[in-house]
């Protein structure tokens, strides 16, 4: 169903996890994944920003670095990148 929704026409930033605690499921997913979703499947046409982080699907929402990125996105409309952090 989500694939039938079309491009996002609203402000959208997506964080994709790249670590898995589920090696069995990860072997069934193409390329990198977070144990539940492949990074490739997190991309949505029309999104404003996309960030990959070394976190698992299950614990992503409690990760302090993910939380900091969400706050940064809400304040600035984009995720923080290392080059931007060094420029500030």
Residues 56-65, mean pLDDT to the nearest whole number: 96
Predicted confidence at residue 86, as pLDDT, reads 46
- What DSSP string describes the chain? -GGGS-S--S--EEEEE---S-HHHHHHSSSSBSSSSBGGGG--TT-SEEEEES--TTTGGG-HHHHHHHHHHHHHSS---HHHHHH-
Phi, psi of 38 (to 5 degrees): -75, 150
pLDDT in tens, 6-36: 899 999 999 999 999 988 889 999 899 999 9
pTM metric for this prediction = 0.86
* Bridge partners (DSSP) listed for residue 14: 50
pLDDT in tens, 38-57: 999 999 999 999 999 999 99
CA distance 40 to 33: 8
């Amino acid at each position: 169903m989500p694939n039938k929704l079309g491009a996002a026409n609203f402000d959208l930033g997506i964080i994709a996890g790249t670590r898995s605690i589920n090696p069995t499921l990860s072997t069934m997913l193409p390329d990198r994944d977070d144990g539940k979703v492949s990074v490739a499947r997190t991309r949505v046409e029309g999104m404003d920003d996309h960030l990959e982080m070394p976190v698992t699907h299950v614990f992503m929402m409690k990760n302090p670095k993910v939380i900091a990125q969400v706050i940064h996105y809400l304040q600035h409309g984009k995720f923080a990148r290392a080059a931007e952090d060094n420029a500030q």
